[in-house]
Structure 1
Amino acid sequence: MVKISTQSRKDLFIHIGIIIALIAALFLAFFFIYLPLTTNHGEAITVPDLRKMNVEELEDFLDERDLRYEVSDCTFVANMAPLTILSQYPQPNSKVKEGRKIYITVVSRTAPLIKMPKLTDMTLRSAQMLIKSMGLNLGTLRYVPDLAHGAVLRQYYNGQEILPGQPVAKGSKIDLEVGDGLGSTSFPVPSVVDMPLDEAKFQIVGAGLKVGQVIVVNDDSKEAGTVVRQNPESGNKIRIGDVIDLWVVGPLTDSSSDSNEEPQLD
């Protein structure tokens, strides 16, 4: 029977120990040297702020920082250049690993079409709120003499009146024509003397004025229902919405009488 000497056993243990040490060294080197070098373990890249940049310059910008990007959504924004970046994820200054993909939302090239809302007969404030909610922009306001103070009278796009329901690009400017009440423009008082009362009323209302008191008078030289006097008299200056009082030969018929006429005078 062959006996193993004490020296041989000692050499065997030494070799086994060396092998175990080499295996442990390789194990530690793999996890603590090789992997960190190949995966940048423990290193992070700060995400730059991409907002307001253009997509066309983004690829080179991110390549220099070992990052990538992907367009996740497009939306239209008035007064912003197409392909401008609106938002991003991860957010600016976030810490990410090399090669991380950044998801971005950009401004689309073309504006979607929407139906033009009905702004006429609305107050200016209500029209402004509706314009904003529809994604449109308020353009020029033009005030015109009209009894409907502060009301929208007409709506225009590119200088042309646009009707409700017609297509218009989102973000377009809509110009409005608004009534300014009595108005600041004065004009000569129209003459209704010697006209029948009904015709005189039609003339007054058609000029944007109001019929005031209808005073019945006697005048045998004139036919009944004829206007013989007015106040203010023709030739004076008047504004839209002002009142004209009339003196009319009586008696008046039911069709030409007025609820505010006074008793017959001599």
Structure 2
Amino acid sequence: MRHIKIFTCRIKLTKFTFSIFVILPKSLMSLIRFILSRLFLKQLLLMLVLLFGLILCLLFWLDSNTRHGEQIVVPDVSGLSIDEAMTALQERKLAYAILDTSSYNPNFPYQTIIEQIPAPGSVVKQSRKIYLSINRSGYKMTTVPDLVGKTLRQAEPALRSAGFKVGKLTYKKYIAKDEVLALKFRKRTLKQGDQLPLTSIIDLELGDGSGGFSVEALDRDSPFHPSNRKRDSL
């Protein structure tokens, strides 16, 4: 009985296989008839039209968002006021953003543009955002160190550590070489206790070490001038 069941199953399997073999050609013929029918051709044509329209819309969207081929040269707005910079950028259809920084540059007026990103002359696309840095209020005032009578080797690091810059060095006839006779800022002789903004450039007046001493060569505001020494002694 077990052998008959197996044989019977095989017969059923054979019938199942044979039935599939018979059905496949009919399905294929039905598919061919459907492909050649007007209904399918109309649907296919409609799908192609929709696909073509979708591609056109996608290309239009990409062109409008990437601005392909449209280039704008970034103008130089350094030194301009905020309103002037905004006008210059808007005329070129560029966006802008003001950076929240505490930058200060003594070479630029207060509340003007001192830096921009991207840099002037860069080629960008329309609506590109330009980041602007504004010249804020000046540096805090700092007392100038008392360096009269010090050597140049002592004065230079002292000025830099205080936040100042060493400017022009001038020499006058004096017995001690490289001894500081006076400190000057914009041709004005500084006195003890004077204050200047950080990063100010301070010029130094030094002795030339010629071995002589000339009262006329000294600035009248210098503490080494005889008239000032008399006042100090009083």
- TM-score w.r.t. length of structure 1: 0.52
Cα displacement (A) at 1:174: 4.4
Q: Distance in 2 between matches of 1:122 and 1:57?
A: 48
Q: Distance in 2 between matches of 1:137 and 1:154?
A: 13
Structure 2 residue 164 is matched with structure 1 residue 135: yes
Q: 1:8 to 1:142 in 2, by over 3 A?
A: closer
Q: CA offsets per residue over residues 122-178 of structure 1, 9 Å max, x none?
A: 3347635754673346489694x7533331145466555124xx6432254646554
Structure 2 residue 191 is matched with structure 1 residue 161: yes
Structure 2 residue 30 is matched with structure 1 residue 30: no
Please name the residue that 1:114 is paired with. Answer: 142
> Is this contact kept in 2: 1:76–1:112, CA < 8 A?
no
Cα displacement (A) at 1:13: 2.0
Structure 2 residue 41 is matched with structure 1 residue 11: no
Q: Distance in 2 between matches of 1:156 and 1:46?
A: 44
> Is this contact kept in 2: 1:77–1:171, CA < 8 A?
no
Please name the residue that 2:229 is paired with. Answer: none
SS in 2 for 1:152: strand
The counterpart of 1:65, out of the listed 80, 86, 92, is 92
Please name the residue that 1:183 is paired with. Answer: 213
More strand by percentage: 1
Q: CA offsets per residue over residues 105-126 of structure 1, 9 Å max, x none?
A: 3433323223423422333476
| Number of aligned residue pairs | 180
The counterpart of 2:128, out of the listed 90, 100, 118, is 100
Query: 5 Å matches for 1:1-266?
Result: 10-37=37-64, 39-72=66-99, 73-124=101-152, 127=155, 131=159, 134-136=163-165, 138=167, 143=172, 146-155=174-183, 161-163=191-193, 167-172=195-200, 174=202, 178-179=206-207, 181-185=211-215
Structure 2, gaps ≥5 residues long: 1-29, 217-225, 227-234
Indicate the RMSD between aligned Cα atoms, in angstroms: 3.9
Structure 1, gaps ≥5 residues long: 187-207, 209-266
More helix by percentage: 2
**Identity over aligned pairs, percent:** 27
Q: 1:88 to 1:38 in 2, by over 3 A?
A: closer
Q: 1:146 to 1:114 in 2, by over 3 A?
A: same
Q: Distance in 2 between matches of 1:78 and 1:35?
A: 45
Q: 1:80 to 1:92 in 2, by over 3 A?
A: closer
Q: 1:30 to 1:17 in 2, by over 3 A?
A: same
Q: 1:31 to 1:173 in 2, by over 3 A?
A: closer
**Amino acid corresponding to residue 164 of structure 2 in structure 1:** G
- TM-score w.r.t. length of structure 2: 0.57
SS in 2 for 1:93: coil
> Is this contact kept in 2: 1:128–1:138, CA < 8 A?
no
SS in 1 for 2:178: coil
Cα displacement (A) at 1:64: 1.1
Q: 1:50 to 1:125 in 2, by over 3 A?
A: farther
Q: 1:161 to 1:171 in 2, by over 3 A?
A: same
Q: Distance in 2 between matches of 1:94 and 1:19?
A: 47
